Amino acid sequence: MIRVLIADDHAVVRQGLRLFLDVLPDVEVVGEAEDGGAAVALARELRPDVVVMDVVMPQVDGVEATKALHEEAPAVKVLALSTFGDEDHVLPTLAAGAVGFLTKDTRPEEIAQAIRTVHRGDPVLCAEATRRVLRRVHAGRDRPEGTVTVLFTDIVDSTPLVDRIGDERAREVFKEHDRLVREALERTGGVEVEREGDKFMLAFASARAALRCAVEIQRALAASDVGVSVRAGANTGDVIAEERGYFGRAVFVAARVAESACGGEILVSEITRQLAGDDTLEFRARGAHELKGLRGEHNLFEVVWNA
């Protein structure tokens, strides 16, 4: 008999999991926890074989709880179950010691089989989590080299946003923003080079693909209820590929172009506009700009994405 502890901050999710697990002949639900701290305390007391752990919970989240269990009770296997399947959730959870990771749209019979699998000590990942992990593993290898279009995006006024809506809500807003950016990136064939705070540095072998990605990001955010305003800037040029990023004047120009944009805008350098220009994109000339730390004036163009 596999003894299972369910940890989720939503009572309806705990109840739903328990309903189908209770009818399995080889599984016994021995307890429920409403957050990560309670999960660790109950695991100490009940010594379950498997903890089905939500990743995003108040107070102590699933990542911290998984890490604590891995250190204090390594015999207890953690099967993470999350609404989110992106790198920011999958990789930290696995690094904390989880043996498996599933998204909450996984079918009940697959969750049951995953519990049996992690109980044996074998890893299990849903298809989405596997895809995300492999993408991160191969990202450095797949980065374009030579002449690259670099796209920077960041959330405008993110600090006042956090102050206004609070840490927990802002965290969820930023995660949804990250998801939309990464989905647009995957559709347009770019590579995530760096992510710092609310800023992304993305790279493309094609200027046209870079601007298509920027347009998709703005449209996705506008159609969502995320409630953030993002500015974007792109530049094309030769870069030096380092172990974990890029270096070169083209990168600094792209960053300064992005800083010149307002919320909801996409600005590009003249070279990027020339390389990407075709009948599918509309540009507005924004005139000559002085970019901080860079010599001379730079002609910038705005990509019209909301026509």
The proportion of the chain whose per-residue pLDDT surpasses 90, expressed as a percent, equals 68
Q: Which CATH architecture has domain 143-304?
A: 2-Layer Sandwich (3.30)
Taking the C-alpha atoms of residue 104 and residue 67, their distance in angstroms, rounded to an integer, is 21
pLDDT confidence of 127, banded at 50, 70, 90? confident
| pLDDT of residue 42 exceeding 60 | yes
Question: Is the fold of 2-132 the same as that of 143-304?
Answer: no
- Statement: the pTM of the whole predicted model exceeds 0.75: no
Taking the C-alpha atoms of residue 114 and residue 32, their distance in angstroms, rounded to an integer, is 19
| pLDDT of residue 2 exceeding 60 | yes
pLDDT confidence of 91, banded at 50, 70, 90? confident
- Locate the domains of the chain by residue range: 2-132, 143-304
Give the CATH H-level superfamily of domain 2-132: Response regulator (3.40.50.2300)
pLDDT digits (tens, 9 = 90+) for 129-161: 777 666 665 555 567 888 999 999 999 998 888
| pLDDT of residue 228 exceeding 60 | yes
pLDDT confidence of 168, banded at 50, 70, 90? confident
pLDDT at 201: 95
- Residue 291 DSSP symbol: P
| pLDDT of residue 252 exceeding 60 | yes
Sequential DSSP letters for 200-268: EEEEES-HHHHHHHHHHHHHHHHHSS----EEEEEEEEEEEE-SSSEESHHHHHHHHHHHHPPTT-EEE
